[in-house]
Structure 1
Amino acid sequence: MKKRFILLGLYSCFGFCQSTDEQQLKDIYQQALTNSECYSWLDHLTNTIGGRLTGSANAQKAVDYTQSELQKLGLDRVYLQEVMVPHWERGAKETAYIEISKKKISVPVCALGMSVATPEKGILAEVIEVHSIKELETLGTEKIKGKIVFFNRPMENALIEPMEAYRGAGDQRGSGPREASKYGAIGVIVRSLSLRLDDFPHTGATRYGDIPKTQYIPGAAISTKGAELLSKSLKVNPHLKFFLKQSCKKYEDVLSYNVIGEIKGTEHPEKIMVVGGHLDSWDLGTGAQDDGAGVVQSMEVLRLFKILNYKPKNTIRAVLFMNEENGVRGGNKYNEQAQANKENHIFALESDSGGFTPRGFTIDADDTSLAKIQGWKPLFEPYQLHLFMKGHSGSDVEPLKSDRIVKVGLKPDTQRYFDYHHAANDTFEAVNKRELELGAAAMASLMYLMDQYGID
Structure 2
Amino acid sequence: MKQILPILFFLLTINISAQTDAETLKTIYSTSLTNGKSYEWLDYLSNQIGGRLSGSLNAEKAVNYTKEQLETLGLDKVWLQPVMIPKWVRGNKEYAFIESASGITTTVNICALGGSIATPIGGVKASVIEVKSMDELKMLGKDKVSGKIVFFNRPMQADLIQTFEAYGGCVDQRYAGAMEAGKLGAVGVIVRSMNLRLDDLPHTGSMSYGDLPNSQRIPSAAISTNDAEKLSSMLAMDKSIKLFFNQTCQQLKDVQSYNVIGEITGTEFPNEYILVGGHLDSWDLGDGSHDDGAGCVQSMDVLRLLKETGIKPKRTIRVVLFMNEENGLRGATKYAEVAKQKGENHIFSLESDAGGFTPRGFQFDCDDAVFAKIESWKALFKPYLIHYFEKGGSGADVAPLKTDGNVCAGLRPDSQRYFDHHHAANDTFDAVNKRELELGAATMTSLVYLIDKYGISPISNANELKN
The TM tier, using the shorter chain, reads over 0.9
2:81 maps to what in 1?
81
Q: Deviation string for 1:258-310 (max 9, x for gaps)?
A: 00010000000000010000000000000000000000000000010111121
- Contact 1:346–1:402, Cα closer than 8 Å, also in 2: no
TM-score normalised per structure 1: 0.97
1:169 maps to what in 2?
170
Paired AA for residue 80 in structure 1 = L
Task: Determine whether 1:37 maps to 2:3.
Answer: no
- Contact 2:402–2:408, Cα closer than 8 Å, also in 1: no
Q: Deviation string for 1:190-213 (max 9, x for gaps)?
A: 000000100000000001101111
2:57 maps to what in 1?
57
What fraction of aligned residue pairs are identical, expressed as a percent? 60
- 2:13, 2:419 → 1: CA distance? 39
Paired AA for residue 439 in structure 2 = L
Paired AA for residue 59 in structure 2 = A
1:312 maps to what in 2?
313
For residues 211 and 265 of structure 1, do their structure 2 counterparts lie closer, same or farther at Cα, with a shift above 3 Å needed? same
Describe the SS at the equivalent of 1:166: helix
- 2:368, 2:330 → 1: CA distance? 30
Describe the SS at the equivalent of 1:169: coil
Paired AA for residue 271 in structure 1 = E
Task: Determine whether 1:206 maps to 2:210.
Answer: no
Shift of 1:10: 10
Describe the SS at the equivalent of 1:110: strand
For residues 20 and 185 of structure 1, do their structure 2 counterparts lie closer, same or farther at Cα, with a shift above 3 Å needed? same
2:70 maps to what in 1?
70
Shift of 1:9: 3.8
Q: Deviation string for 1:88-124 (max 9, x for gaps)?
A: 0000000000001121100000000000000110000
Shift of 1:367: 0.5
For residues 44 and 240 of structure 1, do their structure 2 counterparts lie closer, same or farther at Cα, with a shift above 3 Å needed? same
2:300 maps to what in 1?
299
Shift of 1:413: 0.3
- Contact 1:344–1:403, Cα closer than 8 Å, also in 2: no
1:359 maps to what in 2?
360
Shift of 1:215: 1.1
Describe the SS at the equivalent of 2:257: strand
Q: Deviation string for 1:18-52 (max 9, x for gaps)?
A: 11111110110010000001101000000000000
1:430 maps to what in 2?
431
Gaps of 5+ in 1: none
Paired AA for residue 75 in structure 1 = L
- Contact 1:42–1:293, Cα closer than 8 Å, also in 2: yes
Q: Deviation string for 1:132-154 (max 9, x for gaps)?
A: 01111110011100000000000
Paired AA for residue 263 in structure 1 = I
- 1:11, 1:196 → 2: CA distance? 52
- 1:373, 1:122 → 2: CA distance? 55
Paired AA for residue 100 in structure 1 = S
For residues 10 and 281 of structure 1, do their structure 2 counterparts lie closer, same or farther at Cα, with a shift above 3 Å needed? farther
- 1:8, 1:439 → 2: CA distance? 34
For residues 134 and 349 of structure 1, do their structure 2 counterparts lie closer, same or farther at Cα, with a shift above 3 Å needed? same
Shift of 1:8: 8.3
Paired AA for residue 148 in structure 1 = I
Task: Give runs of ≥4 in structure 1 deviating > 2 Å.
Answer: 5-13
- 1:34, 1:218 → 2: CA distance? 49
- 2:344, 2:425 → 1: CA distance? 39
2:461 maps to what in 1?
none
Paired AA for residue 406 in structure 1 = V
Describe the SS at the equivalent of 1:197: coil
For residues 383 and 247 of structure 1, do their structure 2 counterparts lie closer, same or farther at Cα, with a shift above 3 Å needed? same
1:93 maps to what in 2?
93
Task: Determine whether 1:28 maps to 2:23.
Answer: no
Shift of 1:11: 9.2
> Over the residues paired in the alignment, what is the CA RMSD in angstroms?
1.5
Describe the SS at the equivalent of 2:311: coil
Shift of 1:163: 0.2
Shift of 1:214: 1.5
- 1:403, 1:225 → 2: CA distance? 45
- 2:403, 2:239 → 1: CA distance? 55
Shift of 1:12: 3.6
Describe the SS at the equivalent of 2:114: coil
Shift of 1:6: 8.9
- Contact 1:344–1:402, Cα closer than 8 Å, also in 2: no
- 2:24, 2:109 → 1: CA distance? 49
- 2:193, 2:149 → 1: CA distance? 16
